[in-house]
Amino acid sequence: MAVARHFAQLPSYAEYRKLFWYDWGPVFYRGRLNRTGRLLGIASDPGPTERIAGRTLVGDAGQRVQGFLSKVGLTSSYTLVNAYAFALLPSHAQDAIPLLSEPDQLQWRNKLLELITGPKLQAIVAFGVQAKTAVRLWENRPDVPVFEVPHPSSRSPKVLLDSWRAAVTELRGIVTPDPDGDPGVPNYGPKFLETDYASIPARDLPFGVPPWLGDDAWGRSDRPKHNNSVERPSTDLRNTLIWRAPKHA
């Protein structure tokens, strides 16, 4: 498969390893890779839950994005990737931006985007600054509407909700919903609610993962609250992950 071969040709991040959780390796995508996606979503980088799943946007941020897709009426016809294939250390976010323009990385990323998008594409959504930059650097970008919205982990909830609400409203008039989708569900209100999340479909995850992976509603209602089942302990941020299962599982 051409996409798999392209994944294997990812340019080295070794020169920039201090900016990333480098030792955990890359995480590439979630969703459809066969050029059938009607919406392409680009975020910034995979996190700890994504590393466990081997798929991007499956943790708390990913479940917010899944809710966003659900409000547009999409249940399967989407493709999700990131500006970086490695998890970025938040404190080095600004330091990593030049990497997006580095010729080998730029060429690899743009070819990937071309391999996974096709004539059915109707819209592109860039979640966050890193993704916006990556989209703007895509020279042969398809002639479809591009929406630049805050990252799902934005610390400015009102800005996020106002932007996502407006984007959903416009996208409902652009993107054809899936047969089992419902673009008539409520749009975002003044606060982000549990009903604004959606669990990650099993089809988007590797076979054999626990059935609760990709649905952290149990953690968000737990005490103390935790929004992800996987976390990086402060005692060893770069090389240790802690994975927690719900007690009822």
The model's pTM? 0.96
The phi and psi torsions of 43 (rounded to 5 degrees) equal -115, -150
d(CA 236, CA 149): 32
pLDDT tens for the chain, 249 residues long, are 899 999 999 999 999 999 999 999 999 999 999 999 999 999 999 999 999 999 999 999 999 999 999 999 999 999 999 999 999 998 999 999 999 999 999 999 999 999 999 999 999 999 999 999 999 999 999 999 999 999 999 999 999 999 999 999 999 999 999 999 999 999 999 999 999 999 999 999 999 999 999 999 999 998 899 999 999 999 998 999 999 999 875
Query: Which stretches of 57-189 are assigned E, i.e. beta strand?
Result: 78-82, 123-127, 146-149
CATH of the domain at 102: 3.40.470.10
Residue 113 lies in domain: 30-178
Question: 153 and 56 in contact (C-beta within 8 Å)?
Answer: no
Q: Is residue 24 part of a domain?
A: no
Q: Is residue 128 part of a domain?
A: yes
Q: Is residue 19 part of a domain?
A: no
Q: Is residue 80 part of a domain?
A: yes
Q: Is residue 194 part of a domain?
A: no
d(CA 199, CA 205): 11
pLDDT confidence of residue 161: 98
Torsion of Cα atoms, 101 then 124 then 205 then 66, to 10°: 120
Q: Is residue 241 part of a domain?
A: no
Q: Is residue 215 part of a domain?
A: no
Q: Is residue 66 part of a domain?
A: yes
d(CA 65, CA 198): 8
d(CA 163, CA 171): 12
Looking at the 3D structure of the chain, how many domains does it have? Answer: 1
pLDDT confidence of residue 247: 86
Give the count of alpha carbons within 13 A of 152, CB side only: 26
Question: 73 and 178 in contact (C-beta within 8 Å)?
Answer: yes
pLDDT confidence of residue 129: 96
